Amino acid sequence: PPGGGLQPIGARGMAKKAGKSHGAKHAASQGGGYEIGVEKVLYSCPRPGRFRLLTTAVGTYFGFSTWAFYNHYYGPGLPSLTGGEAPAIYGVIVTVGCVMSLLGLGVAYQHARRHVARLSVVPGKVVDEVIITSHTMLGGEIVKSFLPHQIDRTEGPPPKGSTLPMSTPWERFKVQGEYGFFLLDDQGEVFDTQALNSVLHGRPVHKAGQPPARKR
């Protein structure tokens, strides 16, 4: 972008996907604020097919590695290219294969649970509710509810205005009581950058009927 500034998170995806209806909703939310008790989606990036495919691929590799490991150590042995007894290096290969497949399943499990498919907020009179939806390994949804003070966005430089700076394809943030980072994909859709910025820093969103917050 001109001047070397960083794009807001999801700017590229929004340029392609956002239509007139999204623009109207965005303008309304920015101007009048959010209605108390009504859930509003701030960010969306569902990827069920990605995790279904990843789990299938890693699971297939795990199944083959397990079969090879069992046959080499406890079964009739693996066939060799020369037709004779399998060389000793086969044991190393199948053992490493099993370990790598287990690590792959762990990565797929963790990545699915930490990829944010949808982030929404329910404004409250006293405190807001933040709802984070992630995926299961087979593409299902896991929905969890948190309070704003539990969100801790520690990655990246401080935001300027309503811009979420992106130095990598992933924007990471932690949630108290949850292991690891939650991940926002820069290809996702951001419906209200200013409200999302507030949520990721534990601040309340602007509510309908409230005067706009003063800039400090």
- Helix, strand counts (H, E) of the chain: 5, 8
pLDDT band at 86 (very low <50, low <70, confident <90, very high): low
Q: pLDDT (tens digit, 9 = 90+) per residue, 91-109?
A: 888 899 999 999 999 999 9
Residue 32: per-residue pLDDT: 63
pLDDT band at 14 (very low <50, low <70, confident <90, very high): very low
Q: Can you tell me the distance from the alpha carbon of 115 to that of 51, in angstroms, rounded to the nearest whole number?
A: 10
Residue 130: per-residue pLDDT: 96
pLDDT band at 36 (very low <50, low <70, confident <90, very high): very high
Alpha-carbon separation of residue 200 from 60, 67, 90, 130, 208 (angstroms): 37, 45, 50, 10, 20
Residue 99: per-residue pLDDT: 94
pLDDT band at 82 (very low <50, low <70, confident <90, very high): low
Q: Mutual orientation of helices 89-114 and 48-73 as an angle, nearest 10°?
A: 160
User: Which residue has tokens 């399998």?
Assistant: 86
Cβ atoms 180, 112 nearer than 8 A: no
